[in-house]
């Protein structure tokens, strides 16, 4: 039993007086942060003043817009597996983060966002550049918190990083009033967080559910695996591969699951969803056991839910229990981190092969190659197609590059045709579908993985939404390859207007600046390609150039992306043309 004398004789923890701003930066260093994306302003100025003293320990990237900052932090996190960090000031600075927060929330990207706020005594007075950022961002963050007293900073930041990276990752926003940034307090050091009462990032694994899942798999005659980003977020690529190779089950991916398994793996059947491959979509409604791993049955994957895999017994592995039975009823729900649950399942399943079942996928694949893929990758005439640009890019990168795609037709083409040998190589905006994502996300991806080639594949619509981030490239000297596929349309909207709105092309004809001249203004070399016989040489020049390079490729104006599952249809009603 501890006595009063014992308490008196315990060493007193030494403290030093520092400001809240310095405590924040000490927290970042303790959390092994080395890169911050941000934009200064009045309400966060004390933090930037303190940052002046930490420039050798913390690299700050000055972006050109707060939305660019948070997308860069997303790209950094997705490529590196670390937590992305972004700074913004109050008012418009904070509200400019909202799109990125929503994007990170739905795509499970770990971020810690620090926003400055007006002095605490001014809260609620409509002071200059005051917004209620906590209530604005509550629906699009995993957790948010407002600090009005510097003493809270160490503990709150420790919680922020723990919550952002643990369990199903997500964005956290910490709003710090200016007085708390300036306030001196007794600082006793920083302790990382590994537990919060009432927060359980990983659910308990139920052995009986693992056993039930294994029994279904062992009895299956036509099993099919569909996998998503949960495999990547759980760092479970090797465990997943071991499960597939023992089970012999064919597998297909969501767009965020792409690169978790090498694209040329013999059990990789391709992409699911609205513009996915023919076989995986049709066969979803033919298998007897459907094993979903780290994916959330998004509507772009399932099509009509009342016609989705009704013949199959569904096994759903996910770290987030709320995803199980949310959209598709599971016969067996396996809660837990797939890095832990997959080895348990692999031990219990039988070693099998399914040659006849896999051959059915191959039959659909050959039909798709004949009707769609060969024409897209090897067009005999006409304008350059997006698919052939990706084909040539694959030949030159040999599947080793990180491809960061924006949103639109080019995104679907990039996801369909890009080849990947490594995980964390496909970075795109999945659930939110944010145009303007790719250019800043590519900047972040390059800072997160400086040793890798990063290619941003962007449409002529998306590039104009965040084109100012060319200034970030100019100032940092970072090496990004920018590939603009210009069809002179907002292509995906135009495709829908063509197919479902009688070609009533309402405000989708978008004009572009001279991108090469714009890039030149930022000190970035570039060129435009219009002829097929110039394409490979231009791509080679882009990839071999020392430093950033912008390549604009003029592609077919009214080319469509197929296959396609029309909205309101079943996945088995996928169209090849």
Residues involved in catalysis: 66, 128-129, 178, 492
* Residues sharing a CB contact under 8 Å with residue 480, sequence separation 6 or more, in sequence order: 439, 442, 443, 446, 454, 456, 473, 548
- Which helix (DSSP H) or strand (DSSP E) does residue 454 occupy? strand 454-459
Nearest C-alpha neighbor of 234 from the set 208, 217, 210, 256: 256
Nearest C-alpha neighbor of 173 from the set 218, 214, 142: 142
Residues pairing with 225 in the sheet: 251, 291
Nearest C-alpha neighbor of 379 from the set 361, 392, 366: 392
- 425: burial class by Cβ within 10 Å (0-12, 13-18, 19+)? buried
Whole-angstrom distance, CA of residue 107 vs CA of residue 83:
14
Q: Where are the alpha helices (DSSP H) in 121-184?
A: 133-137, 153-165, 178-182
Nearest C-alpha neighbor of 88 from the set 104, 107, 59, 67: 67
Token digits of residue 148: 């009005």
**One-character DSSP codes across 50-117:** HHGGGTTT-EEEE-SSHHHHHHHHHHHHHHHSS-EEEEE-STHHHHTTHHHHHHHHHTT--EEEEEEE
* Residues sharing a CB contact under 8 Å with residue 401, sequence separation 6 or more, in sequence order: 393, 425, 452, 453, 454, 455
How many distinct helices (H) and strands (E) make up the chain?
Answer: 24, 20
The answer to whether the CB of 518 falls within 8 A of the CB of 526 is: no
Whole-angstrom distance, CA of residue 423 vs CA of residue 152:
38
Q: Which residues of 263-291 are buried (b: 16+ CB within 10 A; e: fewer)?
A: beeebbbbbbbbbbbbbbbbbbbbbbbbb
Angle in degrees, CA 394, 400, 404, rounded to 5 = 75
| CA torsion through residues 257, 260, 262, 265, sign | negative
């Amino acid at each position: 039993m501890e006595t009063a004398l014992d308490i008196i004789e315990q060493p007193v923890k030494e403290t030093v007086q520092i400001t809240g701003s310095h405590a924040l930066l000490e927290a970042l260093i303790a959390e092994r942060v080395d890169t911050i994306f941000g934009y200064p302003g009045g309400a966060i100025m004390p933090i930037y003043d303190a940052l002046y003293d930490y420039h050798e320990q913390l690299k700050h990237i000055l972006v050109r817009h707060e939305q660019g900052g948070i997308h860069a932090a997303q790209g950094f996190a997705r490529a590196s597996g670390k937590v992305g960090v972004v700074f913004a000031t109050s008012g418009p600075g904070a509200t400019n983060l909202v799109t990125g927060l929503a994007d990170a929330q739905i795509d499970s990207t770990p971020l810690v966002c620090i926003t400055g706020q007006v002095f605490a005594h001014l809260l609620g007075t409509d002071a200059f550049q005051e917004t209620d950022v906590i209530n604005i961002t509550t629906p699009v963050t995993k957790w948010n918190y407002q600090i009005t007293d510097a003493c809270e900073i160490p503990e709150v930041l420790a919680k922020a990083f723990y919550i952002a990276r643990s369990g199903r990752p997500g964005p956290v926003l910490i709003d710090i009033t200016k007085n708390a940034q300036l306030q001196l307090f007794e600082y006793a050091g920083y302790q990382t967080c590994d537990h919060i009462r009432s927060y359980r990032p990983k659910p308990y694994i139920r052995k009986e559910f693992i056993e039930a899942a294994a029994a279904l798999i062992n009895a299956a005659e036509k099993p099919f695996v569909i996998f998503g980003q949960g495999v990547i977020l759980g760092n479970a690529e090797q465990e997943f591969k071991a499960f597939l190779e023992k089970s012999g089950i064919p597998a297909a991916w969501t767009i965020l699951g792409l690169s978790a398994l090498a694209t040329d793996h013999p059990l990789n059947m391709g992409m699911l969803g609205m513009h996915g491959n023919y076989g995986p979509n049709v066969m979803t409604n033919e298998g007897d056991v459907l094993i979903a791993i780290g994916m959330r049955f998004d509507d772009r994957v399932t099509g009509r839910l009342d016609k989705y895999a009704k013949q199959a017994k569904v096994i759903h592995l996910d770290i987030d229990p709320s995803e199980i039975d949310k959209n598709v009823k599971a016969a067996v729900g396996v809660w837990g981190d797939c890095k832990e649950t997959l080895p348990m399942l692999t031990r219990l399943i039988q070693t099998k092969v399914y040659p006849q079942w896999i051959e059915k996928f191959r039959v659909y694949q050959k039909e798709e190659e004949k009707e769609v893929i060969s024409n897209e990758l090897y067009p005999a005439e006409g304008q350059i197609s997006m698919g052939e640009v990706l084909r040539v890019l694959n030949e030159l990168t040999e599947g080793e590059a990180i491809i960061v795609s924006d949103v639109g037709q080019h995104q679907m083409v990039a996801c369909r045709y890009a080849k990947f040998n490594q995980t964390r190589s496909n970075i795109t905006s999945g659930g939110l579908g944010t145009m303007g994502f790719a250019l800043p996300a590519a900047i972040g991806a390059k800072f997160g993985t400086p040793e890798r080639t990063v290619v941003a594949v962007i449409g002529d619509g998306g590039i104009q939404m965040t084109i100012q981030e060319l200034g970030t490239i100019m100032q940092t000297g970072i090496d990004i390859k920018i590939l603009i596929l210009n069809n002179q349309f907002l292509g995906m909207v135009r495709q829908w207007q063509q197919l479902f709105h009688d070609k009533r092309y309402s405000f989708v004809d978008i004009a572009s600046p001279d991108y090469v001249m714009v890039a030149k203004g930022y000190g970035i070399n570039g060129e435009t390609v219009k002829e097929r016989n110039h394409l490979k040489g231009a791509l080679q020049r882009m990839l071999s150039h020392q430093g950033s390079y912008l390549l604009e490729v003029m592609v077919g104006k009214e080319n469509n992306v197929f296959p396609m599952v029309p909205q309101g249809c079943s996945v088995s009603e996928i169209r090849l043309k």
